[in-house]
Structure 1
Amino acid sequence: MNTRAAHQVVVIGGGYAGALAANRLRQRDDVRVTLVNPRPAFVDRIRLHQYAAGTGEATVDYGTLLDEEVRLVVDSATRVDTAARRVELASGGALDYDYVIYAVGSTSAVPSAVPGAAEHTVSLGELESARELRAALDGLPLDAPVTVVGGGLTGVEIAAELAERGRRGIALVCGGTLAPSLGVPGRRYTAKWLARHEVEVVEADPVTEVRPDAVVLAGGTVRASALTVWTAGFAVPGLAAASGLRTDDLGRLLTDETLTSLDDPRVVAAGDAAAPSGQPLRMSCQAAGPLGAQAADTVLSRIAGVEPAAIDQAFVGSCVSLGRAAGLRQFARKDDTALTLYFGGRLGAAYKELTCGLGVGKIRKEARKPGSVIWLKGGRRGAVPPVTTP
Structure 2
Amino acid sequence: MTGNTEVVVIGGGYAGVLAANRLTQRDDVAVTLINPRSTFVERVRLHQVVGGSHAAVVDYREVLHERVRLVVDTVTRIDAPGRGVTMASGGAVGYDYLIYAVGSGSADPGVPGAAEFGYPVATLEEAQRLRTAVDAAPATAAVAVVVVVGAGSTGIETAAELAEQGRRVTLVCGGALGPYLHPRVRRSVARRLAKLGVTVLEGPGTKVTAVTRDTVRLSGGHTLPSTVTVWTAGFGVPDLAKHSGLSTDAAGRLLTDETLTSVDDVRIVAAGDSAAPSDLPLRMSCQTARPLGAHAADTVLARIADARPAAINVGFFGQCIALGRRAATVQLSSKDDTANKYSIGGRLAAGIKERACKGVVKELADEARKPGSFTWQFKDDKRHQVLRTKRGQASATAGQAG
TM > 0.5 between the two?
A: yes
Indicate conservation of the 8 Å contact 2:101/2:272, yes or no.
Answer: yes
Q: Secondary structure at the match of 2:24?
A: helix
One-letter code aligned to 2:197: E
Indicate conservation of the 8 Å contact 1:148/1:172, yes or no.
Answer: yes
2:112 aligned partner:
115
1:388 aligned partner:
none
Gaps of 5+ in 2: 392-402
One-letter code aligned to 1:342: S
Indicate conservation of the 8 Å contact 1:315/1:376, yes or no.
Answer: no
One-letter code aligned to 1:147: V
1:306 aligned partner:
307
Q: Tell me the distance in 2 between the aligned counterparts of 1:106 and 1:78.
A: 16
1:51 aligned partner:
49
**1:178 is the counterpart of 2:168:** no
Indicate conservation of the 8 Å contact 1:5/1:30, yes or no.
Answer: yes
1:25 aligned partner:
23
1:370 aligned partner:
371
One-letter code aligned to 1:138: D
**1:166 is the counterpart of 2:166:** yes
One-letter code aligned to 1:118: A
Q: Tell me the distance in 2 between the aligned counterparts of 1:182 and 1:352.
A: 16
Gaps of 5+ in 1: 386-390
Q: Tell me the distance in 1 between the aligned counterparts of 2:372 and 2:50.
A: 34
1:379 aligned partner:
380
Q: Tell me the distance in 1 between the aligned counterparts of 2:194 and 2:334.
A: 29
1:323 aligned partner:
324
Shift of 1:378: 2.3
- 1:204-243 counterparts in 2 under 5 A? 204=203, 205-243=206-244
One-letter code aligned to 1:33: V
Q: Secondary structure at the match of 1:257?
A: coil
Give TM-score scaled by structure 2 length. Answer: 0.93
Q: Tell me the distance in 2 between the aligned counterparts of 1:4 and 1:49.
A: 47
One-letter code aligned to 2:223: V
Number of aligned residue pairs: 381
Indicate conservation of the 8 Å contact 2:109/2:233, yes or no.
Answer: no
Q: Secondary structure at the match of 2:179?
A: coil
Q: Tell me the distance in 1 between the aligned counterparts of 2:226 and 2:316.
A: 37
1:85 aligned partner:
83
One-letter code aligned to 1:258: T
Deviations 1:168-195 (A, max 9, x none): 2x11000011011111121111000111
Indicate conservation of the 8 Å contact 1:110/1:230, yes or no.
Answer: no
Shift of 1:219: 1.1
Q: Secondary structure at the match of 1:151?
A: coil
Shift of 1:4: 4.8
One-letter code aligned to 2:121: L
Q: Tell me the distance in 2 between the aligned counterparts of 1:165 and 1:355.
A: 23
Q: Tell me the distance in 1 between the aligned counterparts of 2:357 and 2:185.
A: 20
Shift of 1:198: 1.3
Q: Tell me the distance in 2 between the aligned counterparts of 1:314 and 1:62.
A: 28
Q: Tell me the distance in 2 between the aligned counterparts of 1:287 and 1:218.
A: 34
Following TM superposition, where does structure 1 have runs of at least 4 consecutive aligned residues deviating by more than 2 angstroms? 380-385
1:73 aligned partner:
71
Deviations 1:27-59 (A, max 9, x none): 100000000000000011000000111011211
1:244 aligned partner:
245
1:148 aligned partner:
148
One-letter code aligned to 1:18: G
Q: Tell me the distance in 2 between the aligned counterparts of 1:297 and 1:377.
A: 17
Shift of 1:374: 0.3
Q: Secondary structure at the match of 2:154?
A: helix
Q: Tell me the distance in 1 between the aligned counterparts of 2:87 and 2:164.
A: 43
Shift of 1:377: 3.5
Give TM-score scaled by structure 1 length. Answer: 0.96
One-letter code aligned to 1:155: G
1:276 aligned partner:
277
Q: Tell me the distance in 1 between the aligned counterparts of 2:101 and 2:263.
A: 16
Indicate conservation of the 8 Å contact 2:163/2:197, yes or no.
Answer: yes
Q: Secondary structure at the match of 2:301?
A: helix
Superposition RMSD on alpha carbons, in Å?
A: 1.4
Q: Tell me the distance in 1 between the aligned counterparts of 2:265 and 2:377.
A: 29
Identity %: 58
Indicate conservation of the 8 Å contact 2:105/2:237, yes or no.
Answer: yes
One-letter code aligned to 1:66: L
